[in-house]
Every structure is written in C-alpha cells, then in structure tokens.
Amino acid sequence: MQKVLIANRGEIALRVIRACRKAWLSTVAVYSEPDANSPHIWAADEAVCIGPAPPLRSYLNSDAILHVAKASGCDAIHPGYGFLAENAAFATACEDNGVTFIGPSAASIHTMGDKAEARRAAMRLGVPVVPGSEDSFTDAAAAADAVREVGFPVLLKARAGGGGRGMRVVEDAASFEGLFQQATAEAAAAFGDGGVYLERYFSKVRHIEVQVLGDGKGNAVHLWERDCSTQRRHQKLVEEALSPVLDDATRKEICDAAVMLTRGIDYRGAGTVEFLYDPADKGFYFIEMNTRIQVEHPVTEMLTGVDLVGEQLRIADGQGLPFDAPPPPVGHTIEFRINAEDPVQGFAPSPGRIERWRPPSGAGIRLDSHVYPGYQVPTFYDSLLGKLIVQGEDRADALAKARIVLSRFTVEGVKTTIPFHLDLLDDPEFQAGNIHTGWVEARAKDRAA
C-alpha cells in the first residue's frame, strides 16, 4: 500500500491519518460541506469534498468515495467506524476496483453483520450464544410466532447494524407488535435493512467485548477484554479494561472463545467479539462481532501498548500477526465519551459553537478529538466531541485520577457529558463496580422518583 483514502470524519479520521503517517503512507481525506473546517482535512495530504451534509449523499455515498479513491491514485481505503465500515457491498466494490479495503473480507462482514448468521457461526464453532431466534424477521406476525419459543422479556435487534439503533426491549405480548414496528422502521432508516432478530433479554448482565486481530488465514490473537456495561439506551458511555468482575479463569475462557470464533471464520484485521456476562453464575454468551475498529479501541491501546490502527494497516498490506500471545496488560484504563449532549435534559443533543476548549493533559492521559475553540458542532452526525482515556496503576487509581482530570476539562458553548461522568465517579456503586447494562437508566429512574 502507498496511498490511503480515509472514508470517515471527526476524531477517527484524524486517528487513521496519524497511523498512516507513522507507516509512511500518503493520505486523502474526504469531507461533507458542513465539515469544511474539520481538522482531518488539514491533517491529510489531500482532501476532497464529496457532497452535502446528509450522510447518504456524502459519507455513505460509496460510488463517490470510490471515484475519489481511484481519481487520486489511492490503492487502499480505511473506513474507520460507522458509515461504510461494516458494509459488505462496499468492501466488495473496493476489491472489484482494485482498491484494498482495510478491514475484513466481505464474506466475514456479511456473516457477522447478519446477526442471525453470526449466531449460527458461533454455535457451529462451539461458542455459547444467547437464547434467541435462528432467523431474522421483517414481519411482526412471523416474529410473534418465534418469540413464543424465546420467551419474554425479549430484545429486538437490527440484523444489519449496531449502536443501539433498531433495538427494543419487549416485556410482554401486548406491546410486541408496536415495538417490533418501531425497531424495523429504525433499522431500515439507519442501515437500509429493516430485518430484526430476537434474543432473550437479561436485565442485570455485563457487556464484555474482546479485542481480536486475525490475519485472514486462520490465525488470530486476542488483546484482552473491555467492560462496556455503563450504557444508556444501548449506547456506551464509559469503557474500561480489564473488566473489574472477571476472575482469571473466566477471563481466559471468554478470550479463548473470541479467538476460536475469529479463527473459525478466517477473520482478517481488527475486530471485537461481544458477549453478555452474568456475574451470578459466571456464564457468558456471544451476542455479535463488530467487524471494524471500535470507538473505544484506545482503551486497549493504552492497556497493551499495541497500535491497533497500525496493525490494521500492516495486516491489510499482507503482513502477519505481530505476536502469538497478547502482551501483558499494564494497570487499568478507562475511557469517557465526551459528547455534545445535555445529561440534565435526557442527553438531548447540544450542537453549537465551541467557545472554549481546554482539555487536560499529562502522564497517563490521552484525548482523541477533532475539536478546537471555534469549532461548530454539526447537527447532521453523532455528538462525539472526543474520548478521554485515563490510565492508573489499578482501577482505584484510575478512577481517582479520572475525577481530577475531568474536573479540569473545560468546555464552553455547548453542553457536554462531563458533569454526568463526574457524578458517576462519585457513585459508590460505580466505584465498587457493582453495575450492569441497565444500571444507568435504573439509577436515573430512582433519582426521578
């Protein structure tokens, strides 16, 4: 590879450009009209406007992106996360046009992107799965028949995507049809595919994800797990590693299962195998695989010292895995997503102009962001301003350091999630690690009562 087009925006576009520079690769940035003053444009060697604000006419416009790649002499495309990152048709189009897709094969994306197929693959390879439907549905009546076998409460999940979109919890048969229609409509709008499948819903479990690398030839390795249980409406708010609730034996089991799945599908590049974990009986269940770099990948990078985006580039260039066993984890690492949202108003979006931006810095602190004073937070895309990652000697040290660091993080002009994180750090249950995936919402209800 010589020249890479970054088919994304914001902090992940900057992150990929930095990795490309380190690997002596030229870069081409693409941007929509409202992103004309985004730093990833200035950081790249070249930049091309690909359309107006709506993602379908810019960052999801695969034809335009491929045209720019070929016209500018790019021999590879890095999709980042979101947008086209898990689009099997786009991966195929890249290969058909002689452009390397920096990610897994289209076959892996298709298998893992279809949640029902992913379940079947996991079951075939002996990886435990959440009880659920074997197929996905677009028809409420057909799904209602299947839910009788799965049982209530049931979780509806989009077949073709993630990030909480197209996801609904259904407590009983009376509310099933209405929530099913909501889920399919949201999934169709977000991913162009209204299919959903059914999973048994567990109310008090942890969300554990294992970072993996594969070479596409049946070799794979894990880089430990991240605990992503601090969520709101299935959207991650805080991620940390290692998980505070796994013992060494369970950690080995869950990481081995992730590697087994990765090897079994000849996976290429960086990916994340996600599980539900029940602390009550130490049972874990595969739920999905994200066939891309994750938003929270810096947690693992700080924990292990491995440049995951750099490894994506190496593997896509035909090089092998960098090691046979994961590097030993160092300390404890925790990431806080800094979003332009107002926690007091139900996390309502808070677009606008950043009047003041003074992030903290120092040893054990990392900030991945594209924001600067005067930056205009757009209304067209996600509200992520940056990711603050803090590393400590252990979890208690990381939490204590995070409290100091967040209190020194000054943002003016828009509302952010910083006050929420500070409040979280003062909560005894969070400090003790005594949470679950529904804990944030249950806590909010208790406070409102």
Pairing of strands 206-215, 268-278: antiparallel
Yes or no: say if 377 and 350 are a contact pair by the CB < 8 Å rule. yes
Neighbours of 375 (CB within 10 A): 20
Q: Which helix (H) or strand (E) holds 251?
A: helix 248-264
Look at residues 149, 147, 86 and name the one whose alpha carbon lies nearest to residue 112: 86
C-alpha 224 chain-centroid distance: 16
Active site residue 292: yes
List C-alpha distances in Å: 220 to 256, 264, 315, 436: 10, 9, 12, 29
Q: Is 73 left (phi over 0), alpha (psi -120 to 50) or beta?
A: left
Q: For residue 367, give both structure tokens.
A: 């900030």
CA dist 441 → 22, 52, 167, 204, 227 (Å): 42, 36, 16, 12, 17
Q: What is the DSSP letter of 132?
A: B
Q: What are phi and psi of 250, to 5 degrees?
A: -70, -40
Selected catalytic residue, list 168, 292, 337, 395: 292
Reported as type and span, the H/E element at residue 270 is strand 268-278
Pair of tokens at residue 426: 């003062």
State how far the Cα of 327 lies from the Cα of 302, in Å rounded to an integer.
12
Give catalytic residues, as residue numbers. 292
